Amino acid sequence: MRFADALAQPGLRAIAEVKRRSPSAGDLRPDADPAQLAAQFAKAGAAAISVLVDDRFGGTIDDLRAARAATDAPLLGKGFFSTEEQLRELKEAGADAVLLILSDLDDATTTHLLAFAHELGLDALVEAHTADELQRAMALDAPVIGVNARDLSTFRIDRAVQLELVSRAAGDRLVVAESGIHSRAQGAAAELAGADAILVGSALMQSPDPQAKLRELLSRPLVKVCGLTRQDDVDAAVEAGADLLGFILVDKSPRRAEAVLDVPDTVLSVAVFVADTTETPADLIQFYPDDGGTVRGREALLLRDGREVARVLDEPWQERDPEHWSIAAAADGRVVLAGGLGPDNVHDAIAAVHPWGVDAASSLEREPGVKDHDKVRAYVEAARS
């Protein structure tokens, strides 16, 4: 399968990167074996594998050859390329795609290299770091655009800017979010912004088990703990491994939070509203359009910047519906399953529905609005088992 075709498959895809060192972080994995890692990444579900061939990253063209011998997965040759000779060498070493960095290339050179790559049968990942570079990539009609969160001059990571640029680029082209992704929630944030894939290098190379780390980043469902009102409970949910943290900003709710509390950037915050919304610092909004005659309706929209990115399917308020899981399993698009979930049944619910996310609140409490930390840990563990 070609590189671009692999990224176009349903769901969030990953390009797993082999690199021994980083100019910003220094040595990451000096003894990295590209053949071994390439095979492991392919087995763990990588759509493609990026191989650094630049000596500034501890790489050589032989690393690409070794990876090619170890896997049939699409390979991206990564480095700083500006000539036909470099692209030809990558192709001969087994690359399926080449990285073209707009900060190093003018439009004329990029256009020429795109055409030459096409002649060679190579796909190209055209990388942008700024709004101006993104506009250039779109004007060049690059079929695959990478948005790098790392400023190559300062090495600073700015994921907020990256997500904004990803959302601008998404549409009739493939978009890859590069750099700055270390958790499932950060990958999901890129996905919800419109990215088709994430490129992950440092997080994998720094992990004791790169293969397991890749599986973790791609695994679904995401796990949400909702009805949080205390910072102590937020911290416990983060420590347990929750991906999304929900804060109910509804006056009638017994779990009403005064505000969206502080969360680390490895997770996503979700503000929950019924019938109306107000501005909050939350990453996402969970919006029940009507109250269902009580506190909330049966279905909510998960919104990012006012755009629907998923649906929350809930049971009728304070009722049991034996068909709830089967109805949710038949729903299209991203589904967050809610309603009566807890440590005892979330594993079975996931097996029946295969949702994008799961959501629990009251089953994890000692009293309304106060979480039982043991139950939170058991719920997250069961959801991930």
Asked if residue 292 has pLDDT above 70, the reply is no
CB atoms within 10 A of CB 330: 10
Asked if residue 245 has pLDDT above 90, the reply is yes
Degrees to nearest 5, angle at CA 343 with 338 and 349: 45
Distance CA 343, CA 359 (A): 11
Q: What is the mean pLDDT of the chain?
A: 94
Q: What is the mean pLDDT of residues 151-161?
A: 84
Contact criterion met (CB below 8 Å) for 96 and 3: yes
CATH number of the domain that residue 330 is part of: 3.20.20.70
Tell me, yes or no, whether 121 and 254 share the same domain: no
Answer with the residue of higher pLDDT: 334 or 298: 334
Q: What is the mean pLDDT of residues 94-118?
A: 98
Tell me, yes or no, whether 272 and 154 share the same domain: no
Asked if residue 103 has pLDDT above 80, the reply is yes
22: pLDDT confidence band, cut at 50, 70 and 90? Answer: confident
Contact criterion met (CB below 8 Å) for 47 and 174: no
Domain boundary among 189, 218, 247: 218
Contact criterion met (CB below 8 Å) for 143 and 110: no
Domain boundary among 155, 186, 218: 218
pLDDT digits (tens, 9 = 90+) for 259-269: 999 999 999 99
For residue 361, what pLDDT is reported? 96
Tell me, yes or no, whether 109 and 157 share the same domain: yes
Distance CA 236, CA 378 (A): 12
pLDDT digits (tens, 9 = 90+) for 246-263: 999 998 899 999 999 999
State residue 285 phi and psi, 5-degree precision: -115, 130
291: pLDDT confidence band, cut at 50, 70 and 90? Answer: low
Tell me, yes or no, whether 165 and 302 share the same domain: no
Tell me, yes or no, whether 11 and 159 share the same domain: yes
Q: What is the mean pLDDT of residues 194-217?
A: 96
For residue 318, what pLDDT is reported? 63
For residue 29, what pLDDT is reported? 84
